[in-house]
């Protein structure tokens, strides 16, 4: 089992807005486990946690996002302007034991 953490460090005042945007845009995404905001530690972070059976399944999910399907067009519409809400980001991939 693989857990992927996509971490976004937001501009002040934008973390909850970005989390809500992700939640609405990713509705129905079977890989998405959680969308989290920080309570302690580094401020203004949004973390999306996704779960996959293996790294191959993670790679296959990227192929879906590269397609110009109606589903992806709807998601892109919902995500318009998200790049303006964060400063930087990173991805962490973990094996669950």
Place of tokens 């976004």: 8
What is the number of domains present in the chain? Answer: 1
d(CA 48, CA 4): 8
Domain that includes residue 46, residue range = 2-95
pLDDT tens, residue by residue, 1-27: 999 999 999 999 999 999 999 999 988
CA distance 97 to 93: 13
pLDDT at 67: 76
Sorted by sequence, the CB contacts under 8 Å of residue 21 that are 6+ apart come out as: 78, 79, 82, 85
Per the model's pLDDT, the better-predicted residue between 28 and 91 turns out to be 91
Instruction: Measure the CA–CA gap between 14 and 56, rounded to whole angstroms.
Output: 33
Return the CATH number at 65.
3.30.70.100
Q: How many CB atoms lie within 10 A of CB 4?
A: 19
**Per-residue model confidence as pLDDT tens digits over 33-92:** 999 999 988 899 999 999 999 999 999 988 877 777 787 788 888 888 889 999 999 999
Predicted TM-score (pTM) of the model is: 0.87
């Amino acid at each position: 089992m693989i857990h992927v953490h996509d971490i976004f460090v937001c501009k002040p005042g934008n973390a909850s807005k970005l989390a809500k945007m992700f939640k609405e845009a990713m509705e129905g995404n079977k890989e998405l486990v959680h969308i989290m905001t920080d309570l302690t530690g580094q401020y203004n972070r949004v973390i999306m946690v996704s779960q996959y059976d293996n790294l191959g399944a993670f790679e296959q999910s990227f192929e879906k996002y590269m397609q110009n399907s109606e589903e992806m067009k709807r998601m892109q519409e919902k995500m318009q302007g998200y790049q303006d809400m964060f400063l930087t980001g990173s991805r962490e991939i973990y094996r669950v034991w």
